[in-house]
Amino acid sequence: MSEWRKDPVVDRWVVIATERAKRPTDYKCPVDEKFQQRCPLCPGHEQETPPEILAFRRPGSQPNQPGWWVRVVPNKFPAVRIEEKPLSWWDGMFQAMSGLGAHEVIVEAPEHEDDLANLSERQVEEVVWAWRSRLLDLRGDTRLKYMLIFKNKGRTAGASLFHAHSQLLATPLVPAEVAAEIAGARRYHAQKGSCVYCDTITQELARDERVVLESQRFVALSPFAARFPFETWILPRQHQHDFAMIDEDDVRDLARVLREILKRLQVAVCDMPYNMVLHTAPVNKEPEVIYHWHLEVLPRLTIVAGFEFGTGYYINPTPPEMAARALRNAVIPVNREPGLYALEVGKNV
Amino acid sequence: MSEWRKDPVVDRWVVIATERAKRPTDYKCPVDEKFQQRCPLCPGHEQETPPEILAFRRPGSQPNQPGWWVRVVPNKFPAVRIEEKPLSWWDGMFQAMSGLGAHEVIVEAPEHEDDLANLSERQVEEVVWAWRSRLLDLRGDTRLKYMLIFKNKGRTAGASLFHAHSQLLATPLVPAEVAAEIAGARRYHAQKGSCVYCDTITQELARDERVVLESQRFVALSPFAARFPFETWILPRQHQHDFAMIDEDDVRDLARVLREILKRLQVAVCDMPYNMVLHTAPVNKEPEVIYHWHLEVLPRLTIVAGFEFGTGYYINPTPPEMAARALRNAVIPVNREPGLYALEVGKNV
């Protein structure tokens, strides 16, 4: 009927519905009206955001003017600020710190109607370069210990702007989720002498049940204990703890794979709301070389509710094997760009 | 501007917006149409659910017929089942178990339009008795290690049925969230020799900044590191690790306080979607007497998104002090039941 599955790295069990499972066509996707007529992220509205931190732009164009294809600005309503002093204090038995950090918006394309899944490969590469560049720049501030790149796409996944964008939130401490993954990787390494993510890749490639696609440098798979229907992770095949260490070939390959996964999700299910998080090793402390960075795409077709908040566990009505099969079999409509889908796709089942 | 706050028990930091904070009137509440015309939880439709496990009903009325005021049935689409054998296995490096557990629905009132917040005190008491009764009954099954009582109210909080109900999900393992709270309570006890929840109550009552109300036996407060706007916890004043140990006076008092909190949330903000979780000590293992059971009401006015999934931390745009003040000051309309709001309310500020 259903089974409990444990994530191999952290203490997270998931109930996977194996019998009365929900197939791709069982999901209703929310229709996200192209909200927001007057968009502060559109070219020509550069004055409506704080001054840009980074922009890839046409030679000769001026900062904070049109002419860019990727633009990074501080969040206008930041959760945390780089200007804060690193103060911490106790309020009786409670611990608090100043709201130190950084909160940036990476505008992924100039066109308001564009979507990360529908950008050209070249443009997705540019987005990845922007992520990398911001991560490298911010680690110069030694008060910061972690930088999370994430994306909220669609209103029900938390996006307040329609225009394609990702976000960066840098924190003065290592987030609990990352700390738990590192602790799990260390535990596994102490027992087996190897990397739990590397071993996962090896096992999954041998089984070929949950692999969605593999490229020269990356593997995309439905994790064994996926929390969400169609949850998909992208991992570098070679062990690498720090995302910012990726080279030009990695960037090109990652952009292709990410774009392909997002397109396949659209084709196999729908243009769904999703969150995406990039988990990489912390910075400005002993390097966690045992860690293995990866990108998690978390579709929001189910609602996280009382059970999840009360337990930290999840109920996933679509087995990852079913999700992987649907994503492998998704036939992406041919478009203008030739040779775009020449990825080496895992055996279709 | 904002500050980082740490939960005193678990590794959970929350960014609290202290300056550009959202007041109660800044929230738009989703209008939940009274969905579902044909409701399987209404009297007369008893055949549309699996046979009842427990019902409080008029003398002489028949099981699975009308005449009940609280009714507990197995979930028709259970995530886990009591009939499963307790098997566990390894799939290479992955660990899995059979879908053992229990998944029940507690129908809180016969009337389709009723809501836990608007039931009579007597009726809320009956709901609490039903929770207690199910918890006691299920712990007879020694394969089960935890029973989570939770409630999803409103579609956006995960409710698929409109009719007022809570749920029980029993698991063959102690959930990560509860295990983390127990570990935190143990750590604190080892350091200070006292219960972290008891000490929190003492400190909060002395400060009177985040206390919403206190009754003879319970305290309701906005936690220091609240994840959600208007998040409210109800804790027994006296140390008690096991919810099922509550006596008649506790039940009466808890019902009053819970109902009052839900009403105040409606008045201070709106009829919001929320989750509620009951955290109590695990069963069928060494009793965790250091633990302190409590009820968490988690309003869903914000969207849990990439930052939260990527870090395990939260951003809360309404400081708990502001939330507590709004809830303390909420004036509840007088209704038919005299003496209903004679609770000893914390000083109004």
| Residue B1 confidence class, pLDDT cut points 50, 70, 90 | confident
pLDDT digits (tens, 9 = 90+) for B171-215: 999 999 999 999 999 999 999 999 999 999 999 999 989 999 999
Q: Which residue of A has its CA nearest to B295?
A: A310
Q: In the prediction, which pLDDT does B343 show?
A: 42
Q: Which residue of A has its CA nearest to B169?
A: A307
Residue A220: strand pairing partners: A213, A234
- Per-residue pLDDT averaged across A263-270, rounded? 95
Q: Is A12 on the interface with B (CB under 8 A)?
A: yes
Q: In the prediction, which pLDDT does B210 show?
A: 98
- Alpha-carbon gap, residue A295 to A55, rounded angstroms: 23
Examine the pLDDT at A347 and tell me if it is beyond 50: no
Examine the pLDDT at A274 and tell me if it is beyond 70: yes
Contact A306 B196 (CB under 8 A): no
Within 13 Å of residue A196, how many CA atoms lie on the same side as its CB? 20
- Per-residue pLDDT averaged across A8-24, rounded? 90
Which residue's structure tokens are 């996200």?
A32
Contact B93 A275 (CB under 8 A): no
Q: Is B14 on the interface with A (CB under 8 A)?
A: no
Q: Are strands A314-316 and A13-17 parallel, antiparallel or unpaired?
A: parallel
| Residue B226 confidence class, pLDDT cut points 50, 70, 90 | very high
Contact B275 A305 (CB under 8 A): yes
DSSP A81: B
Q: Give me the sign of the Cα torsion angle B10, B314, A168, A9.
A: positive
CATH 3.30.428.10 fits A2-83+94-329, yes or no: yes
pLDDT digits (tens, 9 = 90+) for A61-104: 999 999 999 999 999 999 999 999 999 999 999 999 999 999 99
A332-348 per-residue burial string, b: 16 or more CB within 10 A, e: under 16: eeeeeeeebbebebbee
Structural contact between residues A234 and A261, judged by C-beta atoms closer than 8 angstroms: yes
State the greatest distance between any 2 C-alpha atoms of chain A, in Å, as a whole number.
64
Q: What is the DSSP string of A129-146?
A: HHHHHHHHHHTTSTT--E
* CB-nearest partner of B277 from A225, A298, A306: A306
Q: Is A143 on the interface with B (CB under 8 A)?
A: no
Contact B171 A203 (CB under 8 A): no
The residue length of chain B stands at: 349
pLDDT digits (tens, 9 = 90+) for B55-102: 999 999 999 999 999 999 999 999 999 999 999 999 999 999 999 999
Contact A311 B177 (CB under 8 A): yes
Q: In the prediction, which pLDDT does A31 show?
A: 74
pLDDT digits (tens, 9 = 90+) for A138-192: 999 999 999 999 999 999 999 999 999 999 999 999 999 999 999 999 999 999 9
Catalytic residues of A: 165
| Residue B29 confidence class, pLDDT cut points 50, 70, 90 | confident
Q: Is A177 on the interface with B (CB under 8 A)?
A: yes
| Residue B335 confidence class, pLDDT cut points 50, 70, 90 | low
**Residue A124 burial (CB count, 10 A):** 25
CB pairs under 8 A between A and B: 215
Mean pLDDT of chain A: 93
Measure the CA angle with vertex A74, ends A70 and A80; round to 5°. Answer: 140
Q: Is B89 on the interface with A (CB under 8 A)?
A: no
Contact B99 A15 (CB under 8 A): yes
Contact A315 B20 (CB under 8 A): no
Segment holding A4, helix H or strand E: strand A2-6
Examine the pLDDT at B323 and tell me if it is beyond 90: yes
Q: In the prediction, which pLDDT does B21 show?
A: 84
| Residue B17 confidence class, pLDDT cut points 50, 70, 90 | confident
Report phi then psi at B213, rounded to 5.
-160, 160
Q: In the prediction, which pLDDT does B159 show?
A: 94
* Per-residue tokens: B305: 């998104």
Residues of chain A found within 8 Å of residue B224, distances taken between Cβ atoms: 91, 94
| Residue A35 confidence class, pLDDT cut points 50, 70, 90 | low
Residue B89: strand pairing partners: B96
Q: In the prediction, which pLDDT does A36 show?
A: 64
Residues of chain B found within 8 Å of residue A92, distances taken between Cβ atoms: 203, 207
CA A48 to chain CA centroid, Å, is 27
Q: Is A209 on the interface with B (CB under 8 A)?
A: no
Q: In the prediction, which pLDDT does A343 show?
A: 42
Structural contact between residues B6 and B188, judged by C-beta atoms closer than 8 angstroms: no
Residues of chain A found within 8 Å of residue B180, distances taken between Cβ atoms: 312
- Alpha-carbon gap, residue B83 to B331, rounded angstroms: 48
Contact B310 A150 (CB under 8 A): yes
Q: Nearest to residue A244, comparing CAs of A186, A196, A287?
A: A287
Examine the pLDDT at A28 and tell me if it is beyond 90: no
Examine the pLDDT at B337 and tell me if it is beyond 80: no
Q: C-alpha distances in angstroms, B114 versus A55, A87, A270, B86, B111? A: 55, 49, 36, 39, 5
Superfamily of structural domain B2-81+96-329: HIT-like (3.30.428.10)
Strands laid side by side in the A2-6 sheet: A314-316, A13-17, A2-6, B94-98, B88-91
pLDDT digits (tens, 9 = 90+) for A222-265: 999 999 999 999 999 999 999 999 999 999 999 999 999 999 99
- 3-state percent helix, strand, coil for chain A, nearest multiple of 5: 30, 25, 50
Number of separate helices (H) and strands (E) present in chain A: 6, 15
Taking only residues 28 to 57 of chain A, the set having a beta carbon closer than 8 angstroms to any beta carbon of chain B reads none
Contact A93 B203 (CB under 8 A): yes
Residues of chain A found within 8 Å of residue B177, distances taken between Cβ atoms: 309-312
Instruction: Give the ipTM of the model, two decimals please.
Output: 0.94
pLDDT digits (tens, 9 = 90+) for B142-157: 999 999 999 999 999 9
Q: Is B96 on the interface with A (CB under 8 A)?
A: yes
Position A9: which residue type?
V
- Name the active-site residue from B165, B279, B292, B294: B165
Cα distance from A230 to chain B (closest Cα, Å)? 16
pLDDT digits (tens, 9 = 90+) for A37-70: 789 999 999 999 999 999 999 999 999 999 999 9
